[in-house]
Amino acid sequence: MDKRLYDAAIRGDSAVLSQLLEEDPYLFDRTYLNCDDMFNLLHISAMLGHEDFAQAILQMNYSASSYDMCFARDRDGRNPVHLAAIHGKLNFLELIRHHDGLMQAALEKADGGGTVLHLCVKHNQLEALKLLLQIFIDGNFVGAKNEDGMNILHLALENNQNQVHSATLPY
């Protein structure tokens, strides 16, 4: 990944992102295509909670790369929405409401067959879970099972997280 672009992502600097793309309109595509382990700018934004930087990426129309970045998985099989949930980055998760690519990525199962909701429970991110339950009011999604046959309530019970039960009501 281009170091200047990487540094801008770490800082969440949308102005530098715009400047770099003005200098080289294909930098974004080359960066996406050359990411090691599919760890891209959107993954960085998700983990660090740089929602403005993520929004700038998602608004780019250089190619399908910004949409595709939503689905790219890191070496652990997690897409940017999964990472935002794991790290409790609520502002990033709010972007799901406004971007179809993120909405669809949120519905993708992670490695292990769990949903983004399973990841919230597994990583004790109750506020992220509550937000996602507001966004996804579909009982089928909430009741989805991982490859071990556990839904989020089973997982919460196994992890002694009693507060998850009240967060999932009325499901």
| Mean of pLDDT over the chain | 85
pLDDT greater at residue 138 or residue 94: 94
Q: Is it the case that residue 171 has pLDDT exceeding 60?
A: no
List the one residue out of 36, 15, 32 whose CA is nearest residue 70: 32
Section 38-57 average pLDDT: 87
Compute the C-alpha angle 6/84/70, nearest 5°. Answer: 65
pLDDT (mean) for 156-161: 83
DSSP state of 95: G
pTM: 0.82
Give 51-69 pLDDT, tens digit per residue. Answer: 999 998 888 755 567 788 8
| Lowest-pLDDT choice from 3-17, 57-71, 83-97 | 57-71
Closest CA to 135 of 95, 86, 166: 95
